[in-house]
Amino acid sequence: MSAVVNSATASTRVRHLATVTRELKKTGLYDFHVENGAKMVPFAGYSMPLSYGNVGAVASHDHVRESVGLFDVGHMVQSNFRGPTATAFLEWLTPSSLSALSPYSSTLSVLLNEKGGIIDDTVITKHAEDAYYVVTNAGRRDRDLAWFKGRVALWNTGEKAKQFGPVDHEVLEGWGLLALQGPEAAQYLQGLTSFDLHGLTFGKSAFMPIEGFNLHVARGGYTGEDGFEISIPPSETVKVAKLLSKQPVQLTGLGARDSLRLEAGMCLYGQDLDEDTTPVEAGLSWVIGKERRETGDFIGAESVIQHLKDGPPRRRVGLIVEGAPARQGAQIYTPSREFIGTVTSGIPSPTLGKNVAMGYVQSGWHKKGTEVEVDVRNKLRKAVLTSMPFVKTRYYRG
């Protein structure tokens, strides 16, 4: 399949998260993208770059796997939570063991509703016992911010806050967020900073000088490659983007971002996660701290702990599909034509040359190596369940 066709297909995939009933928002790099030949598309309420110039999604994907790419993820919501009870507050909102995190360490986590469903997935970085940096999804902005506002107000009227102090929530409006991703990302960034990046392993962060700017840099990302996510004040975003986009760095859009994240087994909220899915069903049980399972002192704990104890009714799985790619909504059947689940994400993998997909199937049919069939455009295609990530991750762990 040509890169041009792949870009068009990617455009179709990302548009489902667009907010078409109101004017699209713009990140601080909108003009920068246009100047660099970006094809802009609606995504999660924002106008975002799908691709740049005549570089197709597959070529961009391959460049990130082989060298280094730069992504604008400034549409994401960046927040600070501060206060003497910030740890206890965030441990109420999530099932993670944040009290066990060391300073400047991060963890993937989930915000849960009262039924244990996932309101959003999030990355939480602990700066100190009373200070956290939290990144949430753009497509869930209104839901998340309303949830935070309501929970903070409720928490601050409670006994812990009255005894030890309240929590304050600050949204970093207009701040930039850039993801520098790929096997050559560290070498490139090291040329711009005196900070020794060898000491910054996956899941760690630090404030560091980058050519005169003092920026928060977290080692990690959404592609499965080594990389960094860099938070930038509004007035400096364009300058830093220009600094980080020189050769061999290639500007990379949503088309490649989607295929990279799926190869890495990463979930996309709204497709692979929603408020009717618990973290146990989603294969995210590892974000639930051991002691949290015992105390159950987080929102939605009853349903989550029940799923941990008895097993969930369905489970997220990976599939290799023969013949044609299975897209979101494709139904999954047993070889005897019994319906058992649905595909939530699917692509032709540029790296593997195979059709990969992610979805949910009934428990009991989730074991690796299980053969199933997937309805792709009214034709049943053979598929086999496989472990994720589909492409081995290359995070830097020191």
**Phi, psi angle pair for 158, to nearest 5°:** -85, 175
Q: Which residue has the tokens 């005549």?
A: 54
Residue range 184-216, pLDDT digits in tens:
999 999 999 999 999 999 999 999 999 999 999
CATH class of the domain whose range is 77-171: alpha beta
pLDDT(22) > 80: no
The pair of structure tokens assigned to 224 is: 């499965």
pLDDT of residue 2: 32
pLDDT of residue 266: 98
pLDDT(379) > 70: yes
Based on the number of CB atoms within 10 Å of its own CB, is 70 exposed (0-12), middle (13-18) or buried (19 or more)?
Answer: buried
Q: How far apart are CA 344 and CA 273, in angstroms?
A: 9
Binding residues for substrate: 229
Q: How far apart are CA 317 and CA 282, in angstroms?
A: 9
Residue range 221-265, pLDDT digits in tens:
999 999 999 999 999 999 999 999 999 999 999 999 999 999 999
**What value does the mean pLDDT take over residues 28-45?**
98
Q: How far apart are CA 280 and CA 121, in angstroms?
A: 13
**What value does the mean pLDDT take over residues 147-160?**
98
Domain boundaries defined on the chain? 25-74+175-263, 77-171, 315-389
Q: Half-sphere exposure (CA, 13 Å, Cβ side) for 288?
A: 27
Residue range 159-183, pLDDT digits in tens:
999 999 999 999 999 999 999 999 9
pLDDT(272) > 80: yes
Percent of the chain scoring above 70 in pLDDT: 95
**Beta bridge mates, 232:** 176
pLDDT(300) > 50: yes
The widest CA-to-CA distance across the chain, in whole angstroms, is 64
Binding residues: 229
Q: Is the Cα dihedral 206, 209, 210, 216 positive or negative?
A: positive
Domain 25-74+175-263 is found in CATH 3.30.1360.120: yes
Angle at 269 between CA 146 and CA 145, to 5 degrees: 10
| Amino acid code (one letter) for 205 | S
**What value does the mean pLDDT take over residues 261-272?**
98
Counting every residue written for the chain, the total comes to 398
Q: How far apart are CA 311 and CA 141, in angstroms?
A: 31
Q: Which residues in the chain belong to E strands, given as ranges?
A: 38-43, 46-52, 69-72, 77-82, 105-112, 118-128, 131-136, 168-171, 176-181, 205-210, 213-219, 227-232, 250-251, 314-321, 331-333, 339-348, 355-362, 371-376, 379-386
pLDDT of residue 165: 97
Q: How far apart are CA 359 and CA 352, in angstroms?
A: 19
Residue range 95-123, pLDDT digits in tens:
999 999 999 999 999 999 999 999 999 99
pLDDT of residue 110: 98
Show the 3-state SS of 127-187: EECCEEEEEECHHHHHHHHHHHHHHHHHHCCCHHHHHHCCCEEEECCCCEEEEEECCCHHH
CATH superfamily of the 315-389 domain: Aminomethyltransferase beta-barrel domains (2.40.30.110)
Global pTM?
Answer: 0.94
- 21-25, 27-31, 226-230: which range is least confident on average? 21-25
- Element housing 258 (H / E): helix 254-263
Q: How far apart are CA 248 and CA 250, in angstroms?
A: 6
